[in-house]
Amino acid sequence: VRQSIAVRLAWMFALAALVVFSLVGAALHRVLYRELERHQIEELQTRVEVMQHMISRTDTPESWLRVHDKLDSLAPGDRAIRVWAFSSDPAFEYGDAPGTLRQRLAGPDGLGEIALTEGARPLRTLTRTIPATGARPDVRFVVGIDSTGFHDTMRVFAIALIALSLAGVAGVAALGYWIARVGLQPVSRLSEEARRIRPSNLSQRLEQSGPNELTRLVGAFNGALDRLEGAYKQLDAFNADVAHELRTPLTNLIGQTQVALSKQRTVEQHREVLQSNLEELDRLRAIVNDMLFLARADRGAVASDLVRVSLAAEVDRAVDFMEVVLDDLGVRVRVEGDAQASIDRSLFGRAITNLLQNAVQHSAPGSEVVVRVTPERGGARIAVANPGEPIPSEHLNRLFDRFYRVDVSRGNSGENHGLGLSIVKAVAAMHDGAVFALSKDRVNTVGFTVALRPA
Ligand SMILES: Nc1ncnc2c1ncn2[C@@H]1O[C@H](COP(=O)(O)OP(=O)(O)OP(=O)(O)O)[C@@H](O)[C@H]1O
Ligand SMILES: [Mg+2]
Protein backbone atom coordinates (compact mmCIF):
# COMPACT_ATOMS: atom_id res chain seq x y z
CA VAL A 1 0.00 0.00 0.00
CA ARG A 2 1.38 3.41 -0.92
CA GLN A 3 1.10 5.59 2.15
CA SER A 4 1.31 9.35 2.17
CA ILE A 5 4.19 10.88 4.09
CA ALA A 6 1.72 13.15 5.91
CA VAL A 7 -0.27 10.17 7.16
CA ARG A 8 2.90 8.41 8.24
CA LEU A 9 4.13 11.48 10.09
CA ALA A 10 0.73 11.85 11.76
CA TRP A 11 0.97 8.27 12.99
CA MET A 12 4.47 8.87 14.31
CA PHE A 13 3.38 12.04 16.07
CA ALA A 14 0.47 10.12 17.62
CA LEU A 15 2.80 7.36 18.80
CA ALA A 16 5.23 9.87 20.30
CA ALA A 17 2.36 11.69 22.03
CA LEU A 18 1.01 8.40 23.39
CA VAL A 19 4.39 7.54 24.91
CA VAL A 20 4.85 11.00 26.44
CA PHE A 21 1.29 11.22 27.78
CA SER A 22 1.50 7.71 29.25
CA LEU A 23 4.74 8.47 31.07
CA VAL A 24 3.52 11.82 32.38
CA GLY A 25 0.12 10.33 33.29
CA ALA A 26 1.70 7.44 35.18
CA ALA A 27 3.97 9.83 37.06
CA LEU A 28 1.06 12.14 37.97
CA HIS A 29 -1.00 9.17 39.11
CA ARG A 30 1.82 8.00 41.34
CA VAL A 31 2.42 11.46 42.84
CA LEU A 32 -1.25 11.90 43.69
CA TYR A 33 -1.49 8.38 45.15
CA ARG A 34 1.51 8.96 47.38
CA GLU A 35 0.22 12.34 48.52
CA LEU A 36 -3.24 11.07 49.43
CA GLU A 37 -1.76 8.07 51.17
CA ARG A 38 0.55 10.30 53.21
CA HIS A 39 -2.47 12.38 54.29
CA GLN A 40 -4.31 9.29 55.48
CA ILE A 41 -1.35 8.03 57.44
CA GLU A 42 -0.83 11.42 59.04
CA GLU A 43 -4.47 11.47 60.03
CA LEU A 44 -4.13 8.04 61.61
CA GLN A 45 -0.96 9.07 63.39
CA THR A 46 -2.41 12.24 64.97
CA ARG A 47 -5.31 10.26 66.36
CA VAL A 48 -3.07 7.54 67.72
CA GLU A 49 -0.77 10.12 69.32
CA VAL A 50 -3.67 11.84 71.07
CA MET A 51 -5.08 8.60 72.40
CA GLN A 52 -1.79 7.07 73.39
CA HIS A 53 -1.19 10.10 75.58
CA MET A 54 -4.55 9.71 77.24
CA ILE A 55 -4.60 5.91 77.59
CA SER A 56 -1.10 5.62 78.99
CA ARG A 57 -2.24 7.70 82.04
CA THR A 58 -5.45 5.67 82.49
CA ASP A 59 -5.00 2.99 85.12
CA THR A 60 -8.52 2.32 86.53
CA PRO A 61 -11.81 1.12 84.97
CA GLU A 62 -13.43 4.42 86.19
CA SER A 63 -11.06 6.65 84.32
CA TRP A 64 -11.42 4.31 81.26
CA LEU A 65 -14.98 5.72 80.98
CA ARG A 66 -13.50 9.10 80.14
CA VAL A 67 -11.42 7.42 77.47
CA HIS A 68 -14.71 6.02 76.13
CA ASP A 69 -16.20 9.50 75.78
CA LYS A 70 -13.10 10.74 74.11
CA LEU A 71 -13.09 7.81 71.67
CA ASP A 72 -16.77 8.44 70.87
CA SER A 73 -15.94 11.95 69.82
CA LEU A 74 -12.91 10.74 67.86
CA ALA A 75 -14.93 8.39 65.63
CA PRO A 76 -17.78 10.40 64.12
CA GLY A 77 -21.10 8.86 63.13
CA ASP A 78 -20.38 8.51 59.40
CA ARG A 79 -17.97 5.71 60.30
CA ALA A 80 -15.23 7.13 58.09
CA ILE A 81 -12.98 6.62 61.08
CA ARG A 82 -13.24 3.57 63.28
CA VAL A 83 -11.56 2.99 66.64
CA TRP A 84 -11.00 -0.17 68.68
CA ALA A 85 -9.23 -0.94 71.93
CA PHE A 86 -8.55 -4.49 73.01
CA SER A 87 -7.06 -5.88 76.18
CA SER A 88 -7.08 -9.00 78.32
CA ASP A 89 -9.50 -7.23 80.70
CA PRO A 90 -12.94 -6.52 79.10
CA ALA A 91 -13.19 -3.42 81.34
CA PHE A 92 -10.50 -1.80 79.26
CA GLU A 93 -11.96 -2.30 75.80
CA TYR A 94 -13.72 -0.19 73.15
CA GLY A 95 -15.65 -0.73 69.89
CA ASP A 96 -17.64 -3.75 68.75
CA ALA A 97 -15.73 -6.40 66.94
CA PRO A 98 -17.32 -9.79 66.39
CA GLY A 99 -15.05 -12.78 66.97
CA THR A 100 -13.44 -13.12 63.50
CA LEU A 101 -12.90 -9.38 63.11
CA ARG A 102 -11.33 -9.25 66.54
CA GLN A 103 -8.86 -11.87 65.44
CA ARG A 104 -8.01 -10.04 62.28
CA LEU A 105 -7.63 -6.71 64.08
CA ALA A 106 -5.19 -8.30 66.51
CA GLY A 107 -2.31 -7.93 64.06
CA PRO A 108 1.13 -6.65 64.91
CA ASP A 109 1.78 -2.98 65.69
CA GLY A 110 2.04 -0.56 62.76
CA LEU A 111 0.21 0.11 59.50
CA GLY A 112 -2.12 -2.47 57.97
CA GLU A 113 -5.20 -3.02 55.87
CA ILE A 114 -8.28 -4.88 57.05
CA ALA A 115 -11.61 -5.52 55.30
CA LEU A 116 -14.44 -5.32 57.83
CA THR A 117 -16.74 -7.58 55.85
CA GLU A 118 -16.12 -9.97 52.99
CA GLY A 119 -15.60 -8.01 49.70
CA ALA A 120 -15.78 -4.56 51.30
CA ARG A 121 -13.14 -1.97 50.66
CA PRO A 122 -10.38 -2.45 53.24
CA LEU A 123 -9.74 0.03 56.03
CA ARG A 124 -6.29 1.42 56.41
CA THR A 125 -5.30 0.80 60.02
CA LEU A 126 -2.67 1.86 62.50
CA THR A 127 -2.19 -0.36 65.56
CA ARG A 128 -0.25 0.45 68.70
CA THR A 129 0.19 -1.43 71.97
CA ILE A 130 0.11 0.79 75.06
CA PRO A 131 1.96 -0.88 77.95
CA ALA A 132 0.13 -1.80 81.21
CA THR A 133 -0.04 0.55 84.18
CA GLY A 134 -1.79 0.19 87.56
CA ALA A 135 -4.90 -1.98 87.28
CA ARG A 136 -4.85 -1.74 83.46
CA PRO A 137 -3.26 -4.49 81.38
CA ASP A 138 -1.67 -3.90 77.92
CA VAL A 139 -4.10 -2.17 75.57
CA ARG A 140 -3.92 -2.81 71.86
CA PHE A 141 -5.27 0.32 70.22
CA VAL A 142 -6.43 0.28 66.55
CA VAL A 143 -7.51 3.26 64.41
CA GLY A 144 -8.97 2.52 60.98
CA ILE A 145 -9.71 4.99 58.22
CA ASP A 146 -12.10 4.24 55.40
CA SER A 147 -10.30 4.51 52.05
CA THR A 148 -13.36 4.38 49.76
CA GLY A 149 -13.04 8.10 49.08
CA PHE A 150 -9.35 7.70 48.40
CA HIS A 151 -9.91 4.93 45.89
CA ASP A 152 -12.81 6.76 44.25
CA THR A 153 -10.64 9.83 43.80
CA MET A 154 -7.86 7.75 42.29
CA ARG A 155 -10.29 6.04 39.92
CA VAL A 156 -11.84 9.28 38.69
CA PHE A 157 -8.38 10.74 38.30
CA ALA A 158 -7.18 7.73 36.27
CA ILE A 159 -10.22 7.84 33.98
CA ALA A 160 -9.77 11.57 33.47
CA LEU A 161 -6.07 11.05 32.71
CA ILE A 162 -6.77 8.34 30.12
CA ALA A 163 -9.53 10.33 28.45
CA LEU A 164 -7.45 13.49 28.33
CA SER A 165 -4.41 11.58 27.04
CA LEU A 166 -6.41 9.96 24.26
CA ALA A 167 -7.90 13.31 23.29
CA GLY A 168 -4.38 14.76 23.40
CA VAL A 169 -3.03 11.98 21.18
CA ALA A 170 -5.81 12.55 18.67
CA GLY A 171 -5.16 16.28 18.76
CA VAL A 172 -1.42 15.83 18.24
CA ALA A 173 -2.03 13.42 15.35
CA ALA A 174 -4.38 15.88 13.66
CA LEU A 175 -1.96 18.72 14.24
CA GLY A 176 0.95 16.60 12.99
CA TYR A 177 -0.98 15.74 9.85
CA TRP A 178 -1.68 19.39 9.22
CA ILE A 179 1.95 20.38 9.87
CA ALA A 180 3.19 17.64 7.56
CA ARG A 181 0.79 18.75 4.84
CA VAL A 182 1.96 22.32 5.12
CA GLY A 183 5.61 21.24 5.34
CA LEU A 184 5.29 19.02 2.28
CA GLN A 185 3.68 21.67 0.12
CA PRO A 186 6.97 22.36 -1.71
CA VAL A 187 6.99 18.69 -2.76
CA SER A 188 3.52 18.98 -4.29
CA ARG A 189 4.62 22.17 -6.02
CA LEU A 190 7.65 20.37 -7.43
CA SER A 191 5.62 17.43 -8.71
CA GLU A 192 3.22 19.90 -10.31
CA GLU A 193 6.17 21.61 -12.00
CA ALA A 194 7.68 18.29 -13.08
CA ARG A 195 4.34 17.20 -14.52
CA ARG A 196 4.39 20.18 -16.87
CA ILE A 197 7.71 19.21 -18.49
CA ARG A 198 7.18 17.84 -21.99
CA PRO A 199 9.44 17.05 -24.96
CA SER A 200 8.24 20.40 -26.37
CA ASN A 201 9.61 22.36 -23.39
CA LEU A 202 12.56 20.18 -22.42
CA SER A 203 14.63 23.26 -21.59
CA GLN A 204 12.35 24.04 -18.63
CA ARG A 205 13.86 23.33 -15.20
CA LEU A 206 12.47 22.98 -11.70
CA GLU A 207 12.78 26.06 -9.53
CA GLN A 208 15.77 25.90 -7.18
CA SER A 209 13.93 27.72 -4.35
CA GLY A 210 12.26 25.73 -1.59
CA PRO A 211 13.72 24.10 1.52
CA ASN A 212 17.34 22.86 1.73
CA GLU A 213 16.34 19.20 1.77
CA LEU A 214 14.71 19.58 -1.61
CA THR A 215 17.36 21.61 -3.41
CA ARG A 216 19.61 18.58 -3.79
CA LEU A 217 16.74 16.57 -5.21
CA VAL A 218 15.86 19.45 -7.52
CA GLY A 219 19.52 19.73 -8.52
CA ALA A 220 19.73 16.03 -9.30
CA PHE A 221 16.49 16.13 -11.25
CA ASN A 222 17.58 19.18 -13.22
CA GLY A 223 20.90 17.49 -13.93
CA ALA A 224 19.05 14.48 -15.30
CA LEU A 225 16.95 16.83 -17.43
CA ASP A 226 20.13 18.51 -18.72
CA ARG A 227 21.52 15.18 -19.82
CA LEU A 228 18.21 14.10 -21.31
CA GLU A 229 17.86 17.36 -23.18
CA GLY A 230 21.39 17.02 -24.53
CA ALA A 231 20.77 13.46 -25.66
CA TYR A 232 17.40 14.40 -27.08
CA LYS A 233 18.79 17.30 -29.08
CA GLN A 234 21.65 15.16 -30.32
CA LEU A 235 19.24 12.47 -31.40
CA ASP A 236 17.08 15.05 -33.11
CA ALA A 237 20.04 16.49 -34.98
CA PHE A 238 21.27 12.99 -35.74
CA ASN A 239 17.94 12.05 -37.31
CA ALA A 240 17.99 15.16 -39.46
CA ASP A 241 21.59 14.46 -40.45
CA VAL A 242 20.85 10.86 -41.33
CA ALA A 243 17.95 11.88 -43.53
CA HIS A 244 20.12 14.53 -45.13
CA GLU A 245 23.03 12.15 -45.76
CA LEU A 246 20.82 9.50 -47.28
CA ARG A 247 18.96 11.97 -49.48
CA THR A 248 21.91 12.93 -51.68
CA PRO A 249 22.82 9.42 -52.86
CA LEU A 250 19.14 8.56 -53.24
CA THR A 251 18.54 11.67 -55.34
CA ASN A 252 21.54 10.75 -57.49
CA LEU A 253 20.28 7.21 -57.90
CA ILE A 254 16.79 8.30 -58.91
CA GLY A 255 18.06 11.03 -61.24
CA GLN A 256 20.49 8.76 -63.06
CA THR A 257 17.92 6.00 -63.39
CA GLN A 258 15.28 8.41 -64.76
CA VAL A 259 17.73 9.82 -67.29
CA ALA A 260 18.73 6.33 -68.36
CA LEU A 261 15.10 5.34 -68.86
CA SER A 262 14.11 8.51 -70.72
CA LYS A 263 15.60 7.37 -74.03
CA GLN A 264 16.63 4.27 -75.88
CA ARG A 265 20.16 3.43 -74.61
CA THR A 266 22.85 1.08 -75.73
CA VAL A 267 23.90 -1.78 -73.50
CA GLU A 268 27.18 -0.01 -72.88
CA GLN A 269 25.35 3.10 -71.64
CA HIS A 270 23.19 0.99 -69.32
CA ARG A 271 26.26 -0.70 -67.94
CA GLU A 272 27.74 2.72 -67.17
CA VAL A 273 24.62 3.84 -65.33
CA LEU A 274 24.49 0.63 -63.35
CA GLN A 275 28.15 1.02 -62.45
CA SER A 276 27.53 4.52 -61.17
CA ASN A 277 24.43 3.38 -59.30
CA LEU A 278 26.45 0.64 -57.67
CA GLU A 279 28.88 3.24 -56.34
CA GLU A 280 26.06 5.25 -54.82
CA LEU A 281 24.57 2.10 -53.33
CA ASP A 282 27.96 1.21 -51.85
CA ARG A 283 28.11 4.64 -50.25
CA LEU A 284 24.61 4.14 -48.82
CA ARG A 285 25.64 0.80 -47.42
CA ALA A 286 28.76 2.31 -45.86
CA ILE A 287 26.68 4.99 -44.12
CA VAL A 288 24.14 2.47 -42.87
CA ASN A 289 26.91 0.14 -41.65
CA ASP A 290 28.64 2.97 -39.82
CA MET A 291 25.38 4.00 -38.19
CA LEU A 292 24.64 0.45 -37.12
CA PHE A 293 28.12 0.23 -35.61
CA LEU A 294 27.62 3.49 -33.70
CA ALA A 295 24.20 2.36 -32.49
CA ARG A 296 25.75 -0.84 -31.12
CA ALA A 297 28.49 1.17 -29.41
CA ASP A 298 25.84 3.49 -27.94
CA ARG A 299 24.08 0.52 -26.46
CA GLY A 300 27.26 -0.15 -24.46
CA ALA A 301 28.99 -2.75 -26.60
CA VAL A 302 32.60 -3.32 -25.44
CA ALA A 303 35.55 -4.79 -27.22
CA SER A 304 35.46 -8.47 -26.33
CA ASP A 305 37.83 -10.11 -28.80
CA LEU A 306 40.92 -8.88 -26.97
CA VAL A 307 44.44 -9.95 -27.95
CA ARG A 308 47.67 -8.60 -26.55
CA VAL A 309 49.69 -7.23 -29.46
CA SER A 310 52.27 -4.68 -30.46
CA LEU A 311 50.29 -1.60 -31.49
CA ALA A 312 53.02 -0.42 -33.90
CA ALA A 313 52.72 -3.70 -35.78
CA GLU A 314 48.95 -3.20 -36.03
CA VAL A 315 49.47 0.32 -37.40
CA ASP A 316 51.94 -1.08 -39.96
CA ARG A 317 49.32 -3.52 -41.08
CA ALA A 318 46.79 -0.75 -41.65
CA VAL A 319 49.40 1.31 -43.57
CA ASP A 320 50.11 -1.66 -45.83
CA PHE A 321 46.41 -1.90 -46.69
CA MET A 322 46.43 1.75 -47.77
CA GLU A 323 49.61 1.48 -49.81
CA VAL A 324 47.94 2.15 -53.16
CA VAL A 325 46.18 5.30 -51.94
CA LEU A 326 49.34 6.56 -50.28
CA ASP A 327 51.41 5.98 -53.40
CA ASP A 328 48.81 7.79 -55.54
CA LEU A 329 48.92 10.87 -53.33
CA GLY A 330 52.64 10.70 -52.70
CA VAL A 331 52.18 10.75 -48.93
CA ARG A 332 54.53 8.79 -46.66
CA VAL A 333 53.62 7.35 -43.26
CA ARG A 334 56.19 6.93 -40.48
CA VAL A 335 55.40 4.89 -37.36
CA GLU A 336 57.27 5.89 -34.19
CA GLY A 337 57.43 4.12 -30.82
CA ASP A 338 55.50 1.07 -29.71
CA ALA A 339 53.37 -0.22 -26.86
CA GLN A 340 51.78 -3.50 -25.90
CA ALA A 341 48.06 -3.53 -25.25
CA SER A 342 45.08 -5.84 -25.34
CA ILE A 343 42.83 -4.73 -28.18
CA ASP A 344 40.22 -5.94 -30.58
CA ARG A 345 42.36 -6.00 -33.76
CA SER A 346 39.60 -5.34 -36.28
CA LEU A 347 38.17 -2.42 -34.25
CA PHE A 348 41.64 -0.99 -33.75
CA GLY A 349 42.42 -1.34 -37.45
CA ARG A 350 39.20 0.44 -38.33
CA ALA A 351 40.05 3.39 -36.07
CA ILE A 352 43.61 3.67 -37.40
CA THR A 353 42.39 3.52 -40.99
CA ASN A 354 39.90 6.31 -40.37
CA LEU A 355 42.61 8.47 -38.79
CA LEU A 356 45.05 7.77 -41.63
CA GLN A 357 42.40 8.53 -44.26
CA ASN A 358 41.75 11.90 -42.67
CA ALA A 359 45.43 12.68 -42.33
CA VAL A 360 46.11 11.77 -45.94
CA GLN A 361 43.11 13.73 -47.16
CA HIS A 362 44.18 16.85 -45.32
CA SER A 363 47.88 16.94 -46.12
CA ALA A 364 49.59 18.20 -49.24
CA PRO A 365 51.13 15.68 -51.68
CA GLY A 366 54.68 14.78 -50.75
CA SER A 367 54.20 15.39 -47.02
CA GLU A 368 54.79 12.94 -44.22
CA VAL A 369 52.22 11.60 -41.74
CA VAL A 370 53.63 10.49 -38.38
CA VAL A 371 51.87 7.89 -36.24
CA ARG A 372 53.24 7.94 -32.69
CA VAL A 373 52.51 5.06 -30.32
CA THR A 374 53.39 5.78 -26.67
CA PRO A 375 52.84 3.65 -23.62
CA GLU A 376 50.90 5.52 -20.97
CA ARG A 377 50.14 4.90 -17.35
CA GLY A 378 47.33 2.35 -17.54
CA GLY A 379 47.27 2.10 -21.34
CA ALA A 380 48.61 3.36 -24.64
CA ARG A 381 48.23 6.46 -26.77
CA ILE A 382 48.08 6.54 -30.56
CA ALA A 383 48.47 9.95 -32.24
CA VAL A 384 48.29 10.56 -36.00
CA ALA A 385 49.94 13.87 -37.01
CA ASN A 386 49.95 15.48 -40.42
CA PRO A 387 51.06 18.92 -41.67
CA GLY A 388 48.07 20.95 -42.76
CA GLU A 389 45.97 24.06 -42.37
CA PRO A 390 45.32 24.82 -38.67
CA ILE A 391 41.90 23.67 -37.43
CA PRO A 392 40.13 26.55 -35.62
CA SER A 393 39.76 25.71 -31.93
CA GLU A 394 35.95 25.99 -31.98
CA HIS A 395 35.93 22.99 -34.33
CA LEU A 396 38.50 20.91 -32.48
CA ASN A 397 36.30 19.28 -29.87
CA ARG A 398 33.40 18.89 -32.27
CA LEU A 399 35.38 16.84 -34.82
CA PHE A 400 34.22 13.66 -33.13
CA ASP A 401 30.52 14.55 -33.39
CA ARG A 402 28.50 12.52 -35.83
CA PHE A 403 28.25 14.03 -39.32
CA TYR A 404 30.43 16.94 -38.24
CA ARG A 405 32.63 18.35 -40.98
CA VAL A 406 34.75 21.47 -40.70
CA ASP A 407 34.43 22.36 -44.35
CA VAL A 408 30.79 21.84 -45.23
CA SER A 409 31.19 22.51 -48.95
CA ARG A 410 33.78 19.78 -49.18
CA GLY A 411 31.48 17.50 -47.18
CA ASN A 412 28.80 17.87 -49.82
CA SER A 413 31.06 16.19 -52.30
CA GLY A 414 29.50 12.94 -51.12
CA GLU A 415 32.82 11.26 -50.48
CA ASN A 416 32.86 11.94 -46.75
CA HIS A 417 29.92 11.68 -44.39
CA GLY A 418 31.59 12.89 -41.21
CA LEU A 419 31.26 9.57 -39.39
CA GLY A 420 34.94 8.54 -39.45
CA LEU A 421 35.99 10.21 -36.19
CA SER A 422 32.73 9.25 -34.41
CA ILE A 423 33.75 5.67 -35.08
CA VAL A 424 37.25 6.34 -33.71
CA LYS A 425 35.59 7.73 -30.59
CA ALA A 426 33.33 4.69 -30.29
CA VAL A 427 36.30 2.32 -30.68
CA ALA A 428 38.24 4.25 -28.01
CA ALA A 429 35.23 4.02 -25.67
CA MET A 430 34.96 0.29 -26.35
CA HIS A 431 38.57 0.03 -25.09
CA ASP A 432 37.91 2.28 -22.07
CA GLY A 433 39.90 5.02 -23.76
CA ALA A 434 39.29 8.55 -25.00
CA VAL A 435 39.98 10.72 -28.06
CA PHE A 436 41.91 13.94 -28.52
CA ALA A 437 42.62 16.47 -31.27
CA LEU A 438 45.30 19.21 -31.34
CA SER A 439 46.26 21.80 -33.90
CA LYS A 440 49.65 23.44 -33.40
CA ASP A 441 52.40 24.90 -35.61
CA ARG A 442 50.51 23.85 -38.76
CA VAL A 443 50.52 20.24 -37.60
CA ASN A 444 47.18 18.60 -36.85
CA THR A 445 47.22 15.68 -34.44
CA VAL A 446 44.20 13.45 -33.92
CA GLY A 447 44.26 10.26 -31.90
CA PHE A 448 42.94 8.11 -29.11
CA THR A 449 43.94 6.08 -26.09
CA VAL A 450 43.21 2.51 -25.07
CA ALA A 451 43.22 1.28 -21.51
CA LEU A 452 45.32 -1.68 -20.47
CA ARG A 453 43.04 -4.60 -19.83
CA PRO A 454 43.76 -8.24 -19.29
CA ALA A 455 43.32 -10.17 -22.53
N1 LIG B 1 43.85 15.38 -40.06
C2 LIG B 1 42.87 16.32 -40.23
N3 LIG B 1 43.19 17.57 -40.63
C4 LIG B 1 42.26 18.50 -40.78
N5 LIG B 1 40.94 18.30 -40.56
C6 LIG B 1 40.54 17.08 -40.16
C7 LIG B 1 41.49 16.04 -39.96
N8 LIG B 1 40.82 14.95 -39.55
C9 LIG B 1 39.53 15.31 -39.52
N10 LIG B 1 39.34 16.58 -39.88
C11 LIG B 1 38.08 17.31 -39.97
O12 LIG B 1 37.17 16.64 -39.14
C13 LIG B 1 35.99 16.32 -39.88
C14 LIG B 1 35.39 15.05 -39.36
O15 LIG B 1 36.20 13.95 -39.72
P16 LIG B 1 35.54 12.54 -39.95
O17 LIG B 1 36.60 11.57 -40.24
O18 LIG B 1 34.67 12.29 -38.79
O19 LIG B 1 34.60 12.79 -41.15
P20 LIG B 1 34.98 12.84 -42.69
O21 LIG B 1 36.39 12.51 -42.87
O22 LIG B 1 34.51 14.16 -43.18
O23 LIG B 1 34.04 11.72 -43.27
P24 LIG B 1 34.27 10.13 -43.23
O25 LIG B 1 35.48 9.88 -42.42
O26 LIG B 1 33.03 9.61 -42.61
O27 LIG B 1 34.41 9.71 -44.64
C28 LIG B 1 36.43 16.27 -41.29
O29 LIG B 1 35.37 16.60 -42.14
C30 LIG B 1 37.51 17.32 -41.35
O31 LIG B 1 36.94 18.58 -41.58
MG1 LIG C 1 37.28 10.73 -42.18
Beta strands in 172-327 (DSSP E): 306-310
Torsion, CA 257, CA 262, CA 267, CA 272, rounded to 10: -40
CA–centroid distance, 425 to ligand 2, in Å, is 12
State which ligand 1 atom lies nearest to the alpha carbon of 410: 29
pLDDT of residue 377: 87
pLDDT along the chain (455 residues), means of 10: 85 95 96 94 92 90 89 77 89 84 82 81 89 91 89 94 96 94 88 88 84 87 91 84 87 92 92 92 91 89 90 96 92 95 94 96 92 93 95 91 79 73 96 95 96 71
Which residue has the CA at smallest separation from atom 6 of ligand 1?
358
pLDDT of residue 390: 93
Q: Which residues line ligand 1 (CB under 6 A)?
A: 354, 358-359, 362, 386, 388, 391, 399, 404-407, 411, 416-422, 444, 446
pTM to 2 decimals? 0.61
Question: Contact at 8 Å (CB) between 444 and 388?
Answer: yes
Ligand number, closest to the Cα atom of 290: 1
pLDDT of residue 314: 96
Which residue has the CA at smallest separation from atom 28 of ligand 1?
405
Question: Contact at 8 Å (CB) between 430 and 298?
Answer: no
Ligand number, closest to the Cα atom of 357: 2
State which ligand 1 atom lies nearest to the alpha carbon of 415: 27
pLDDT of residue 201: 86
State which ligand 1 atom lies nearest to the alpha carbon of 418: 19
pLDDT of residue 344: 94
pLDDT of residue 455: 52
For ligand 1, mutation pick of 283, 291, 397, 416 (most atoms within 8 Å of CB)? 416
If DSSP codes are grouped into helix, strand and coil, which group holds residue 12? helix
Torsion, CA 102, CA 106, CA 112, CA 113, rounded to 10: -20
